[in-house]
Amino acid sequence: MKIEEGDEVLLYVDERRKYLIKVEKGKSFSTDKGTIKLDELIGLRYGSAIKLNQGEGYILKPSLIDLYRGGLRPSQVIYPKDIGYMILYSGIGPGSVILEAGTGSGYLTAALAHFVGETGKVYSYDMREDMQSKAEKNLKRLGLRERVELKLGDIREGVPENNVDAVFLDMPDPWNAIDAAKRSLKYSGSVLAFVPTIRQVELTYIAMDQSGFIDLRADHLLLTEIRVKQNATRPKNVGVLHTGYIVFGRKTEKKSLRESGEVEVQESIKGNGSMR
């Protein structure tokens, strides 16, 4: 694939020098290692080497992560390690229909839209119009806007979407949205919540259990980058450690405790718990 005018490319000089650039005729891009004329990139293939005043760089095709790092990030985003795990467990793929609560800056939204493909759909709810406006800009930049329907609203009050394949909850009190998520999900569909504290894990897990979800699990992922040096390879001193917890469950015909009449759902799960 060759580079065309208007494409975004990643200029890789070294581990500390990575630049996301939009290729435009008549313009230049400067680094501390030298300046490149963007016209000269047109027609090159991705992976090509280019000469700089000091050394050389390489023109790479940006990944979804590269593009998003160079975009607008007005709120804390879910890290790739967590997103990948959530998507794998959700079982979604091309053609899937997804309900998301908590658009934020659209990082998870973009990943979901990427995986559902051109035949899938993501319905993403947020209560803040300013956040969705920024998310919309990010989605347009990534070429994923047509796969997402951005909606202002509170999922806890119920939503019209139903028979969706998975529900992703990135909000302060997902336990208060479990009943609404269950109504929207198809049978065997998954609900996945991302929360930053143990208290929120407890409240969310209990709410899922009492609502009749099965195959419940709560997970915490750690990522350690390796510093590679001959005869001295070891983990880096600084890594991505705690980012949040993932709570997962699946919908079946199992009734909630309230529906079965066995016991009233605990009032302790009401409220908003420990807020993000």
Instruction: Assess contact for 174 and 195: CB atoms under 8 A.
Output: yes
Instruction: Assess contact for 166 and 99: CB atoms under 8 A.
Output: yes
Q: Six-digit token pair at 164?
A: 């969706």
What is this structure's pTM? 0.84
Q: Six-digit token pair at 134?
A: 């920024």
> Left (φ > 0), alpha (ψ -120 to 50) or beta: where does 212 sit?
left
List the single range of 104-113, 116-125, 202-211, 262-271 with lowest mean pLDDT. Answer: 262-271
Determine the Cα–Cα distance for residues 40 and 126; give it in Å rounded to an integer.
42
Topology given in CATH for the domain delimited by 68-269:
Rossmann fold (3.40.50)
> Residue 90 belongs to what H/E stretch?
helix 80-90
Region(s) of the chain under CATH 3.40.50.150: 68-269
Region(s) of the chain under CATH 3.10.330.20: 8-62
pLDDT in tens, 75-114: 567 889 999 999 999 999 999 999 999 999 899 999 999 9
3-state secondary structure of 83: helix
Topology given in CATH for the domain delimited by 8-62:
Vcp-like ATPase; Chain A, domain 2 (3.10.330)
Max mean pLDDT range (133-142, 155-164, 257-266): 155-164
